[in-house]
Amino acid sequence: MNVDAIQNGIVIDHISAGCGMKLYRLLGLERLDAPVAMITNVASAKRGRKDIIKIDAEIPVDVNVIGYVDPGATVNMIRNGELQEKKQIDMPETLVNVIACKNPRCITSCEQELQQVFRLANREKKEYRCAYCETKAAGL
C-alpha cells in the first residue's frame, strides 16, 4: 500500500494500533478541508503494530489531545518535504475542552458555556478527573 509523502504538513507516528481513529475524531480531522491519510495496523519494529496519520496541511494540532489518547506517539512537522521538527508527546497535566464530564451532578452538565477541564490525577493509571467535580474521565 502506497501513501504519498507530504510536502508541508504533519505526520503523527507511532500511534498505538487501534488509537488512530480515536485521535482522528478528537482532533476533529473529519472537518478538515485537506488531504488526510489514516493508516492502521502498520508493522512497527518498536510496537509490533502501529497507526499513522498524515495531514497534508500545516494546521495547529493540539498535542494535549495526542498526549491524552496516546502519550507514546510522535509528531513530525514536515516542510518542503523535509522533517523540520520531531515532538515526543507526554501526558498533559490539564485537558481543556477535549472530553466532557459524564457526571449528571456536575456543574458543567447544566452550564454549557463552562470549559470542560480535566486534570491528570494518576499518571500510572492514565487517570484524569474533572476539575469541577473530580469525577473520573470515562475511557475513550
Partner 1 sequence: MERSIIDVPDLSLKELDTLMDTAEDIIARPDDYADSCRRKKLATLFFEPSTRTRLSFEAAMYELGGNVLSVTGAGTSSAAKGESVADTAKTVSCYADIIAMRHPKEGAALVAARNATVPVINAGDGGHCHPTQTLADLLTIRREKGRLGNLTVGLCGDLKFGRTVHSLIGAMSRYEGLNFVLVSPAELKVPSYVKNDSLKKKGIPYTQTTDLEEVIGELDILYMTRVQRERFFNEEDYLRLRDSYILTPEKLKKARKDLCVMHPLPRVNEISVAVDADPRACYFKQVLNGKYMRMALILMLLGRMKTREGERK
Q: Which residues bind partner 1 (CB under 8 A)?
A: 103, 105-111, 113-114, 130-136
* Backbone φ and ψ of 126, nearest 5°: 50, 45
Residue 84 or 122 having the CB closest to partner 1: 122
Residue 32 or 121 having the CB closest to partner 1: 121
Residue 30 or 124 having the CB closest to partner 1: 124
Q: Are 40 and 20 a contacting pair, CB within 8 Å? A: yes
- Please, what is the minimum distance in Å from the beta carbon of residue 138 to partner 1? 14
Q: Are strands 82-88 and 94-96 parallel, antiparallel or unpaired?
A: unpaired
- Burial class from Cβ neighbours inside 10 Å (0-12, 13-18, 19+) for residue 66 reads buried
Residue 74 or 109 having the CB closest to partner 1: 109
**Three-class SS state of 112:** coil
- Please, what is the minimum distance in Å from the beta carbon of residue 121 to partner 1? 8
- Please, what is the minimum distance in Å from the beta carbon of residue 128 to partner 1? 12
- Burial class from Cβ neighbours inside 10 Å (0-12, 13-18, 19+) for residue 15 reads buried
- Please, what is the minimum distance in Å from the beta carbon of residue 69 to partner 1? 22
